[in-house]
A and B are shown apart, each in its own frame.
Chain A
C-alpha cells in the first residue's frame, strides 16, 4: 500500500500545481489559465492520490489512464506530469514552443504520460470509454479518469459516450465535470443553457457525486468513494468550480480563458498563490 499524502500536503501540492500552471503560461505568453486553474484539484487528486501509475514506465499496460477531454487546459496535466517525474521540471518552460513535447494541446506521441491526444472538444470521453472497455474486455483492473469541461457538454458526442459507458457498465470510469459555468464566449447559461447537468449524468446511468470541485477535502472523499463502489455504474464527480481559481483577478473572469498574464500580473499571481500554502 503506497503512503497517502495528508489533506494539507494535497492542498499544498495543488498550490504548487497552480504556480507551475501560471509560470508556464506566463513564460509561453500563450495558453489557457482559467480552466487549468479550475480543474487543479481534480488533477492533483488523480495524480497524487488515486492513480496507479509509474512515471518511469509511462506505457505500463496496467496503468490507470487519464483523459483530458478539455485538452486546452493541458498546463494542469503537464504540471502534474513534471511534478511526478515523467520529465524534468525545466521542460515546462518549453510549453507551446517549437520542438517541445508540450504541445498547445496534449499529444500522446510526443509527451510521456499522455494517454490520448485531445484538443477538439467533446471527443475525449469516447476515448476514455474505449479504454475502460478494453480493461473490462481483458479482465484488468486499471481505471480511467476523464476531465470534462461544462461547455464541452454542449457536444452531442459526450452523451453518445455516456450512453456507451452505461451500456457496458463501466464502473472503472471516473468522469469529472469542471462546472465553472464559463465558456469561451460567455457564461454557459448565456451561450447554451445546460439545465440540470448533474441530473443529466444521473439519468444517463452515472453515480453522481456533487461537490465543491475546488475543495480538496471534498474532492478526495468523492474520489475515494467513486473508486470503491463497484456497482456497474460509471462515476461522475460533478464539481462546482471557479474558473481562474486561486488568482483573484482571474476568478470568474471569462476574459482569462485563453490569455497569458503580463509580468506584473504574474508577480501578483505568485504572491497570492504563495499565501495559500497551509501548515502541515
Chain B
C-alpha cells in the first residue's frame, strides 16, 4: 500500500477545475464554506462559473435547481451535514423529483470533522439521501477515487451526492484506477469472508484482509463507493460464493452501506452479516481515530468479527 495520505476533498478541488475548463456550463455554487471544501482554485481560475450565495443552504439548493433547468451543471459545495440535512427538502422537491442535473459535493463526511464535534460530523447523510428516489449516493475511498468519481458524476445526467473526508487518508488507488457509478471495485479476492466497505474505511478493510491472510483466512474486499444504486449483483455474489459478510463504514449503521447490504442479504436469506459503523450515537470533539475506535470501527474489531463468522 502506498503510504501517501491525502484528503478526498483535495481530489474534488483539483478535478473540479479541470472539469470546469472542459465544460463552460459547469458551475460551482458555494455557501461560504468554499475554502474548507477546496473550491479556492476554481474560484480563482473560473470566476465566471463561480457563485457564492452566502450562508443560505436551502436557497443554494434551489438556485442550483433553477440553474440546472437552464442547462447549467451546478456543483453545490458544502459540508455533508448541511448538504444532506439543511438542504434535504429542497433536494427532494426541486432536484430529485424533477430529476435535475445537480451535484452535491460535500466535504467533512462521517466523523472526519473530528475536533469540530457532533454538530459537524455527518453520520446520517448518506442514509437520508439514499431514501430519496432518483438520487445517487457516492463516497470515494481515496484521493484518486475522488477525482475519478467526481468526473463520473459530472458526466452522469441526474442528481448525485458525493461525500468527501476532511482528514487526509491513505492513497490506495493510482491514476490508472477505473470507476463506474453503481459498480463496486473488487480490491481483493477471497473465499472465507467478504468485507464490503466505502470511503475512509476501505483502507481498514484492506488492513484487515492482510491481517487475516496471515492467519489463513482469505478475505474478499469490495469498495462499495456507490451505496445507491447499490451493486446488488456484487453483494449477491458475496452471498452465494461466501455467505459471510462484514460491512464497514464511517456512517451510522442505520440506513447507510450496512443497511443497504442488509436489504440484499435479508432477501437472499442465505448469508450472515455483521455491520461495523457508527453505533447510532452522536460523536464529540475528539481525534478522528479515537471516534472510530469508540464505535468499533477498527481493524482489530473487524478481524475479530471475521474470526467469529468462521466459527
Task: Please measure, in the bound complex, the distance between the C-alpha atom of A161 and the C-alpha atom of B59, giving whole angstroms.
Answer: 6
Beta-carbon contacts of B47-62 to A below 8 Å, as 1s and 0s? 0110101101011111
Q: Which of B92-100, B229-237, B286-294, B296-304 is the contact stretch?
A: B92-100
- CB of B70 within 8 Å of the partner chain: yes
Complex contact B97–A129 (CB within 8 A): no
Interface size on A, residues (CB 8 A): 35
Chain A contact residues, CB within 8 Å of chain B: 61, 65, 67, 107-109, 115-120, 123-135, 137-138, 156-157, 160-161, 163-164, 167-168
Complex contact B56–A133 (CB within 8 A): no
Given A116-B94, A117-B98, A127-B94, the answer on whether A160 and B67 have CB atoms closer than 8 Å is no
- CB of B280 within 8 Å of the partner chain: no
Complex contact A161–B62 (CB within 8 A): yes
- CB of B65 within 8 Å of the partner chain: yes
Candidate in B48, B56, B63, B71 with the most chain A CB atoms within 10 angstroms = B63
Complex contact A120–B89 (CB within 8 A): yes
Task: Please measure, in the bound complex, the distance between the C-alpha atom of A157 and the C-alpha atom of B91, giving whole angstroms.
Answer: 14
Complex contact B70–A131 (CB within 8 A): yes
Query: Assuming A132-B66, A164-B53, A164-B56, what are 9 further A-B pairs, CB within 8 angstroms?
Result: A124-B62, A126-B61, A126-B94, A127-B62, A131-B66, A133-B51, A161-B62, A164-B54, A164-B63
When A and B form their complex, what is the total count of cross-chain residue pairs whose Cβ atoms lie within 8 Å?
113
Given A108-B98, A116-B94, the answer on whether A127 and B65 have CB atoms closer than 8 Å is yes
Residue of B nearest to A67 (CB): B66
Residue of B nearest to A157 (CB): B58
State how many angstroms separate the Cβ of B93 from the closest Cβ of chain A: 5
- CB of B69 within 8 Å of the partner chain: yes
State how many angstroms separate the Cβ of B82 from the closest Cβ of chain A: 13
Complex contact B67–A130 (CB within 8 A): yes
Complex contact B63–A133 (CB within 8 A): yes
Complex contact A119–B93 (CB within 8 A): yes
Write out the residue numbers on chain A whose beta carbons fall within 8 Å of the beta carbon of B59. Answer: 126, 129, 157, 160-161, 163-164
